[in-house]
Chains A and B, each alone.
Chain A
Amino acid sequence: MHLSATDYLLWITGPVLLMLTCAVALRRRLVPEFPVFFAYASYHLVRSAVLFLIYYRMTPAHYFYAYWIGQGVSILLGFAVIYELYCRVFQNYDAIQQFGGVAFAGIAILLLAAAVLSVGSAPGADAPGISKAVVLVERSVRGMQCGLLLFLFVLASRFGLSWENYLFGIALGFGVFASIELVAVAIRAHVGLTAATALSQVNAAAYGCATMIWLCYLLAPLSVPQNRSIIVPHNDLEKWNQALLRIFQR
């Protein structure tokens, strides 16, 4: 298959930005804070290089199998990163410290059930059997990732939780990538192989966009505690809670 200049540019952009992301994470000693994310980024960096070599040195069949095996590992790591996000968002709050893991598990089960129910909709008629299965699995996976991230943002908002900057950047990048990829996979499932090249470029562009977001947030200056006197305000939480308590005591 012949690759255009755009294909090469998109193929190279993601790994280059990812390499910079990993370098910044190492330099800022952020790896212990986001070990799974760092593993995910490193894995993709190595995978891109290996796939590039296989593409030029081996047969298309080798590339096909290498790509999809690698994609399977990538999907598992992607879910692990989202799990890490759930745990990190809630861990700063004693009242709901354990909630992250529970929420992740519960929402993942619900979304898995929804994904299984949506299997009835078959991909485009012109796609061969294995491609149909792959597109279907990919669509379900991206749908689950989008759903998990959507719930994470909604839960954080409902509880009024604040995000650390890095954490927000990782979730934002992942969300942008997963949702654009979901649109691309859904369209591919509908129209078949005719739009494969264009959608492949959309996929690469979305990935480049996500890596750019990660890099920007990792490069952003650390928030420094302000020198001005910070006062904890007096408040009526106790009274409000006592009043709320009376509702429950009816």
Chain B
Amino acid sequence: MITTIAIVTFAVLVLVTLGWALLRHHGPAPDLQTLDTYTKPVDLAAFRNLIDPSEEDYLRGHLPAGKFRSIQRQRMRAALEYVQRTAYNAALLMRVGEAARQSENAEIASAASALVNDALRLRMNAGLAILFLYARIALPGSRISVGRVTDVYESLTAGLLRLTRLQDPAAAPRISAAV
């Protein structure tokens, strides 16, 4: 009986997921005109401060161990929120990039393709970063490292330089402010 209930529940979960995917697939896709209503702002300076190693070392050296762990947990939770926002915005950029990939202009299509792949890499690495941050929330006193991922990020720079050359000067400031 328990197995039957478990299997039926699983099948219902699959059907619900399909329904949700159906709604998402046919839902409105963000375009450039409305992009700023969908994106979530990211305060990059604050984010950098939260993950700054020297800042962490300073707090570690000047606070009692218990207080440091408490504050460090709060800092990592805040950093987590920023990472989640960047991943969310990257997903939006991917959808905009997908639309631009269909452009008849080969240069725009190529740049859009690069944007999509860059955003995809960001989402993948944001996923890794989220796991990393959860580990640091659980063990605030530790110095956990997941290694270097510089190779992934280097390719982003080249793609973005190419995209910047293609942007519309009139729309650029608004879009830039939005994301």
Closest chain A CB from B177 CB (angstroms): 10
Q: Is the CB of A231 within 8 A of B133?
A: no
Q: Is A200 an interface residue (CB 8 A)?
A: no
Question: Please, how many angstroms separate the alpha-carbon atoms of A183 and B7 in the complex?
Answer: 7
Question: Please, how many angstroms separate the alpha-carbon atoms of A52 and B93 in the complex?
Answer: 52
Q: Is A36 an interface residue (CB 8 A)?
A: no
Residues of A within 8 A of B172 (CB): 233-234
- Residue numbers of B with Cβ under 8 A of A are 1, 3-4, 7-8, 10-15, 17-18, 21-22, 24-25, 32, 35, 42, 44, 47-48, 51-53, 79, 83, 86, 89-91, 93-100, 102-104, 108, 111-113, 115-129, 132-133, 143-150, 152-153, 156-157, 160, 163-164, 166-168, 171-172, 175-176, 179
Q: Which of B52, B123, B176 contacts A160 (CB 8 A)?
A: B123
Closest chain B CB from A7 CB (angstroms): 24
Q: Which of A154, A163, A180, A241 contacts B156 (CB 8 A)?
A: A241
Q: Is the CB of A172 within 8 A of B122?
A: no
- Which residue of the partner chain B has the closest CB to A156? B21
Closest chain B CB from A30 CB (angstroms): 18
Q: Is the CB of B146 within 8 A of A248?
A: yes
Return the 6 tightest CB-CB contacts between A and B, nearest first: A160-B91, A121-B3, A225-B102, A186-B7, A190-B4, A179-B14
Using a Cβ–Cβ cut-off of 8 Å, how many residues does chain A contribute to the interface with B?
59
Q: Is A6 an interface residue (CB 8 A)?
A: no
Q: Is the CB of B150 within 8 A of A247?
A: no
Question: Please, how many angstroms separate the alpha-carbon atoms of A158 and B88 in the complex?
Answer: 10
Q: Which of A121, A235, A250 contacts B145 (CB 8 A)?
A: A250
Residues of B within 8 A of A236 (CB): 42, 44, 176, 179
Closest chain A CB from B144 CB (angstroms): 8
Question: Please, how many angstroms separate the alpha-carbon atoms of A233 and B166 in the complex?
Answer: 9
Name 9 extra pairs, CB < 8 A, besides A234-B175, A237-B156, A244-B122: A160-B90, A176-B15, A179-B12, A183-B7, A186-B8, A226-B102, A235-B163, A244-B86, A250-B144
Scan residues 87-144 of chain A and give those whose CB is less than 8 A from a CB of chain B.
93-96, 118, 121, 139, 143
